[in-house]
């Protein structure tokens, strides 16, 4: 029987910053949904429906993190490297989409699942831990209401674009 792939959260990935952690859980959840759909034999649907949703959420999450980065590490090499990793992820997702013209969706979805797992875990374990540490060391004036408003505003613009 085929080994079931799944991206497992472990305590070492918690950053201690609630908003960042909740957004990371959501990214893991979306990644696991994509993998589960692929493993259920629906790779095309996983790439057509779930990958754009995952990418949209990832971009929202990156912009939230980058706002924090600008505040606590603006102009530093740490900020530059972190933002660069976010840009590389967005670029890589486009590359995965382009590869669909030369490989089967089953092959793409299988490899993409592994890529997402490795990227998320390695990024969260280092760059995001450092960010959360800096944010927690600062007095923040961010509120759950502002974070929620930012996400709804972002989702509305996405829904408009889809219609």
The residue ranges that bind Fe ion (CB under 5 A) are 65, 128
- For residues 152 and 43, the answer to whether their CB atoms sit within 8 Å is no
68 vs 109, which CB is nearer to Fe ion?
A: 68
- The least CB distance from residue 152 to Fe ion, in Å, is 21
Closer CB to Fe ion, residue 24 or residue 38? 24
Shorter beta-carbon distance to Fe ion: residue 25 or 41:
25
**Residue bearing tokens 């013209």:** 101
Based on the number of CB atoms within 10 Å of its own CB, is 128 exposed (0-12), middle (13-18) or buried (19 or more)? buried
CB of 125 to Fe ion, least distance (A): 11
Give min distance, CB of 71 to Fe ion, in A: 14
Which of 66, 76, 77, 70 minimizes the C-alpha distance to 128? 66
């Amino acid at each position: 029987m085929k080994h079931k792939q799944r991206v497992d959260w472990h305590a070492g990935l918690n950053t201690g910053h609630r908003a960042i952690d909740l957004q990371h859980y959501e990214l893991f959840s979306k990644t696991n949904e994509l993998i589960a759909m692929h493993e259920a034999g629906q790779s095309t649907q996983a790439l057509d429906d779930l990958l754009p949703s995952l990418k949209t959420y990832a971009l929202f999450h990156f912009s939230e993190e980058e706002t924090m980065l600008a505040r606590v590490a603006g102009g530093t090499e740490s900020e530059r490297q972190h933002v660069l990793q976010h840009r590389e992820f967005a670029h890589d997702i486009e590359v995965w989409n382009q590869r669909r013209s030369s490989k089967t969706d089953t092959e793409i979805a299988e490899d993409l699942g592994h890529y997402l797992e490795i990227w998320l875990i390695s990024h969260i374990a280092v760059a995001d831990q450092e960010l959360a540490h800096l944010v927690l060391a600062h007095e923040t004036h961010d509120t759950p209401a502002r974070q929620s408003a930012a996400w709804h505003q972002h989702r509305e613009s996405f829904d408009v674009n889809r219609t």
